[in-house]
Chain A
Amino acid sequence: MYRYDAMDKTLVNERVAQFRDQTRRFLNGELNDDEFRHLRLRNGLYIQRHAPMLRVAIPYGLLSSGQLRTLGGIARRFDRGYGHFTTRQNIQYNWPKLAEVPDILAELATVEMHAIQTSGNCIRNVTSDHLAGITPNELEDPRPWCEIIRQWSTFHPEFTYLPRKFKIAVTGAPQDRAASLVHDVGVHIVRGPAGDLGFEILAGGGLGRTPIIGQVVREFLPREHLLSYLEAVLRVYNLEGRRDNIHKARIKILVKSLGIGEFRRRVEAEWESIRGEAPRVDEAEVARMRSFFNPPAYRNLVNADPAAGKETAFRAWYRYNTAEHKVPGYRAVYVSLKKPDVAPGDATDAQMELIADLSDRYSFGEVRVTHTQNLLFADVEQGQTFELWRALDRAGVATPNIGTLTDMICCPGLDFCSLANAGSIDVAKLINERFDDYDYLYDLGELDLKMSGCMNACGHHHVGNIGILGVDKGGEEWYQITIGGAAGADASLGSVIGPSVAKADVAETIARLLDVYVEQRRPDERFLDAVRRLGVKPFKERVYAAPVAA
């Protein structure tokens, strides 16, 4: 993974000093609420319902064991013993004290971490494929490019006060595991007409109250121009994006109002005039970045079937919670942070420390955060998966549900977030209680459920096969259900099935949707494909045919 050099260290230490001074000025009354808000937001600090919330950047989701151990230690000493992993591969602390935040940042800096640009109207943490570098059909590992973008976007002087937040995702494989089509900019590594690798650039995707799938701005960009092209996109957005209405300020609204053709024309014109002078990524720099992501020292192994003859529980876990690895004899192993009674994405201090230890023992001391709010050991020897499973199971992070209905994506909701209309964690709990039969879950197959507590869509509900959105109805928490959304390379937005339902009826509503699927599916047809084939109508009819029994 990328390691800081003296310059990186200097920058994060200077940021800690700057933020310490800004916090002091606020606590002294030298800065008012609004002034401090603009400063703290660029450092990941929200003032939430109960306490400040600090969001710490995990660049493209990659952590060393030492970093994860530190995150666990911070959870214990500065928070209430847990942290929340987010859909953008970051971690959030829900209970820090404002006056202690500079100390947390100083501690993070010791392990090459920070909270720079994790909130506010600026370029946010760049996200990527959690299987980067290990998935079999990848064109190229996207992480060196993510790091190049991370550095370029960090304290970029021109783009520190954008109309709105700006999120970039980079992928290098045909399968899109980074939801890049619903990002402000999606960068796809592709092969060009001459066979060389470069980028397809998309813009204007996003969720929130106006969900839109990103559109192609440029089909093929030679690699050395990545930063100048991003700079052109950002510059057009910075000047032309709306600043008069927070709900219309994202780049997706600009792209939509100009039309992709006119947006492309403006970006290309801007790029033509800067490409000669803008930063060019030379081959030496690419090679330097790549050297940080060299494969670990794999042993020479052959593929085996470690689940053969083992107990049912292990076989189920192996099937659902591990993924194919391009190197023979290895497997990627998910650490499920989805479990009944626990908010999706939450991990305790002890779990983080244990997972860090296990990564040292089984996966070259690295851990990844997935955008589905789980953790991943990327490089586990197949022969060690049984041992690892037992350790994970004891720690309560081996729920064999990856990719199934209960592997829900979920925002913190009304319990923690001042923006939310409705709770999401308690609904997740109700769903977990209702669907606790693994045979049934496995029979349903690949199915993702995503839930957000409000229009901001932090839980990505629009692109869930089943999406749940919390809405406020006369002071009560209600839930609008969508079906048919998808976040991958075939991304689509879900369709609303009908009027929203009460909290107590959410699980029953989902059960009815699933009944229609089970009755009408074709052999091997996924829920998503069945919805695409059947349309919303049969699902809607079943859900609203009879009131939910009390």
Chain B
Amino acid sequence: MPRQLLRDGRIVADDWTYLTEAAGADAGNAEAGKADVLGSAHPSNALILTFDQWRSDEPRWRAAPARLGVILSPADKVEQLAPDLSRFDLVGAEFPGPSEGRGYTQGRLLRERYGWRGELRATGYVRRDQVFFLARCGFNSFELPDSDLAAAAGAFSTFTASYQPSNDLGLALKLQHR
């Protein structure tokens, strides 16, 4: 069954495949899998890489016909990805555990400093309790456990007001008290 996720407030089937998933499904061998994927034989034709995978083989990925997404790990620097953003159709941040918080800043930087307008995905430890804050940092796509999907879809209104301006609401940039 394809992965379900929450995108723009709706539960949808994921139309993206991680490179590790694609490679594993094709050959059980990352190198062979990657060659196949690069030859655009893979049906998904929409692949998510880690930033490391992108950087380690950048010229080949750049030339590949597939649509590409990239996920930043918490330690990756947004400014290093910034020059290449136009090659991607999806950018994401990984949250390895419930205490990780760097992705919130990565999200804001992508949206506000580097003008990223495409899908911004949160992956890893993402639950209904975080989506409100993630959305306010610019994320619009959330990989959640199936058991949390429906509740998370309602979590954008956990709080119906905010003190801080945020680009998700397009509000004037001053302290949000009326």
Contacts and interface: CB of A to CB of B under 8 A. Distances in A.
B175 A22 contact: no
A155 B165 CA distance: 12
A279 B165 contact: yes
Given A157-B104, A159-B101, A14 B160 contact: yes
A470 to B, nearest CB: 28
A154 B173 contact: no
A18 B158 contact: yes
Contacts of A154: 163
How extensive is the interface on chain B, given as a class? 20 to 34
B161 A280 contact: no
Contacts of A456: none
Contact of B177 (A5, A10, A155): A5
A426 to B, nearest CB: 35
Interface string A136-172: 0000000000001001101111111111000000000
Contacts of A151: 163, 175, 177
B160 A10 contact: yes
A530 B67 CA distance: 73
A161 B163 contact: no
Contacts, number: 97
B112 interface: yes
Interface string B59-73: 000000000000000
A243 B165 contact: no
A157 B105 contact: no
Interface stretch (A31-39, A48-56, A104-112, A405-413): A31-39
Given A157-B136, A239-B105, A38 B99 contact: yes
Given A239-B105, A282-B174, A157 B133 contact: yes
Interface in B146-178: 147, 158-166, 173-175, 177-178
Nearest to B129: A39
B177 A7 contact: yes
A163 B98 CA distance: 12
B3 interface: no
A280 B100 contact: no
Contacts of B105: 158, 235, 238-239
A187 to B, nearest CB: 16
B177 A285 contact: yes
A98 interface: no
Nearest to B148: A30
A524 interface: no
Given A14-B158, A157-B104, A158-B104, A35 B127 contact: yes
B102 A238 contact: yes
B2 to A, nearest CB: 25
Contacts of B99: 38, 121, 161, 243
B69 to A, nearest CB: 22
Interface string A321-358: 00000000000000000000000000000000000000
A288 B174 CA distance: 14
Contacts of A163: 101
B87 interface: no
A278 B173 contact: yes
A5 B129 CA distance: 25
A10 B161 contact: yes
Interface string B128-142: 010011101100000
Nearest to B166: A157
Contacts of A548: none
A284 to B, nearest CB: 9
B117 interface: no
A281 B100 contact: no
Contacts of A15: 159
A38 B95 CA distance: 14
A227 interface: yes
B55 interface: no
Contacts of A159: 101, 104
A65 to B, nearest CB: 26
A155 B112 contact: no
Interface of B: 74, 98-102, 104-105, 108, 112-113, 127, 129, 132-134, 136-137, 147, 158-166, 173-175, 177-178
20 contacts: A7-B178, A10-B161, A14-B160, A38-B99, A152-B175, A155-B133, A157-B134, A157-B136, A157-B137, A159-B104, A161-B100, A161-B101, A235-B105, A238-B101, A238-B104, A239-B105, A243-B100, A273-B113, A279-B164, A281-B175
Given A162-B101, A273-B113, A288-B177, 6 more contacts: A18-B158, A152-B164, A155-B159, A235-B105, A238-B105, A279-B173
